[in-house]
Structure 1
Amino acid sequence: MKTLLMLGGAALALAATPAMAQDDTDRAGSVQFKVLGTAVLPDGAITDVNVDLVGLPANTQTEANNNFVPTIAIEYFLTDNVSIETIAGTTQHDVDAVSGLPGAELVSDALLLPATVTAKYHFDLGGVKPYVGGGVAYFMWLSDKPGAATIPLGVTDTDLSDEFGFALQAGFDVPLGDNGFGLTFDAKRYFIDTTARWFAGNTLAIETEHKLDPWVLSAGVAYRF
């Protein structure tokens, strides 16, 4: 919340800066740059157990923790109402058991790069510019470590698979004057899975399928030029 308030204050300060006037309805060919505070709220539930050499309790279930990170977005307007957007940022998560082995940390410090490209359609409602969109995503795990609860079991390595998926998106922009500055609010829902593998030396001890399907909620400031 503190981050969002600071970003909002920055937008108001920037909007007061003199700049060349810009017609907000004439967006074709322009670029919009956004600085955002983002909440990443994943699921992380097990959907299938493919390999289990350690005898997990039958009701074992997991979840991934939430994270709050800074992100940036770059958007190009193909027409006044249609744009293409991509985001940049990484987010780090742990995966813990919530039943069967409640509280057990299974994956530690999993660093995710959620490469995403969406197409958006913008509506003009005067002071507010809502939009809807959708696109493709590729989740790349840059690093991950065995959770603290798995090391006593002999686990030496953990691997989360990179996967393709898709995302739906909705939000709105609020111009602040005619200088290209504004506030922006965005919500994405991803639909994407990953396969988690735990190794003891060269032996695959556990392999599970997980539903990630995170909500990604962002708010911040924007500048279009």
Structure 2
Amino acid sequence: MKKVLAAAFAGVATLAAPAAQARDDEGKVQVKLLGTYVATDGKITAVNTDLVGLPAGTQTEASDNFVPTFAVEYFVSPNFSIETICCVTQHDVDAVAGLPGAQLVSDAKVIPATLTAKYHFDLGGVKPYLGAGATYFWWIDVEPGAATIPLGVTRTTLSDEFGLVLQGGADIAIGDSGLGITVDAKRYFIDTTARWYAGNTLAIETEHKLDPWVLSAGVSYRF
């Protein structure tokens, strides 16, 4: 029996060696081209200034968006990597209560600068991962909503903020050329302060919970 076990172990070791070598030879850099669905909240959590007299119970919601995303990932070790993404996403903010249907923010564009650390589980051709990190939402263009302009609003801003990110997904290899398919889900935890100005006068200031879900799928290449 000992001889059989030794022979079996030697056989498994022989078969496993090329696979282990293949894993060791995997590239340290992975790039991804993804289609990304961004589903934000946009709920008002506080009203700090209100010279207009918003109706009681006024509540808002931000629109969803679908955008292309480019990601770059560096593998510090076979199981540990650091990833950043690049995209610009655009959203409107509409009232859903108090002023239902009123557009309050138009075409707000944000760069969600994001850096996450990820741990990969090796299941052969499929490698699930979990990650966490930080983000900085940089608003590069915000326009007053159509419903605010008749009220004398001339400028609208959303504050840039830091936040946290949780991440999960999987990389699925296609052969051994470095090509693959990626599915990814992120949950951001971040707020913003919205301000509407009439000339130089701050007319309305509200705090908003954004907390978007960011769901992506696409192709990857590791080299």
Asked whether the two chains share a fold, i.e. TM above 0.5, the reply is: yes
Q: Do the aligned partners of residues 93 and 23 (structure 1) sit closer, same or farther apart at CA in structure 2, a change above 3 Å counting?
A: farther
In the TM superposition, what is the alpha-carbon distance from 1:127 to its structure 2 partner? Answer: 2.4
2:121: which partner in 1? 123
Q: Do the aligned partners of residues 180 and 140 (structure 1) sit closer, same or farther apart at CA in structure 2, a change above 3 Å counting?
A: same
- Equivalents in 2 of 1:26, 1:220: separation in Å? 25
Contact (CA 8 Å) 1:83, 1:120: kept in 2 or not? yes
Q: Residue 101 of structure 2 aligns to which amino acid in structure 1?
A: G
Q: CA RMSD in A?
A: 1.3
2:188: which partner in 1? 190
- Equivalents in 1 of 2:197, 2:151: separation in Å? 10
1:200: which partner in 2? 198
In the TM superposition, what is the alpha-carbon distance from 1:24 to its structure 2 partner? Answer: 5.3
1:161: which partner in 2? 159
* Aligned with residue 74 of structure 1, among 64, 67, 72: 72
Contact (CA 8 Å) 2:158, 2:194: kept in 1 or not? yes
Listed as ranges, the gaps of 5+ residues in structure 2 are 1-19
- Equivalents in 1 of 2:126, 2:63: separation in Å? 33
In the TM superposition, what is the alpha-carbon distance from 1:146 to its structure 2 partner? Answer: 0.3
- Equivalents in 2 of 1:63, 1:28: separation in Å? 44
In the TM superposition, what is the alpha-carbon distance from 1:26 to its structure 2 partner? Answer: 2.3
- Equivalents in 2 of 1:125, 1:223: separation in Å? 18
1:59: which partner in 2? 57
Whichever structure has more helix as a proportion of its residues is 2
Listed as ranges, the gaps of 5+ residues in structure 1 are 1-21
Contact (CA 8 Å) 1:23, 1:178: kept in 2 or not? no
Q: Residue 97 of structure 1 aligns to which amino acid in structure 2?
A: A
- Equivalents in 2 of 1:214, 1:26: separation in Å? 36
Q: Which 4+ stretches in 1 moved above 3 angstroms?
A: none
Task: Give aligned-pair identity as a percent.
Answer: 72
TM-score (norm 1): 0.89
Q: Residue 124 of structure 1 aligns to which amino acid in structure 2?
A: D
- Tell me which structure has the larger Cα radius of gyration: 2
- Provide the aligned length of Structure 1 versus Structure 2: 204
Contact (CA 8 Å) 2:26, 2:222: kept in 1 or not? no
SS of 2:150's equivalent in the other structure is helix
- Equivalents in 1 of 2:94, 2:119: separation in Å? 38
Q: Residue 196 of structure 1 aligns to which amino acid in structure 2?
A: A
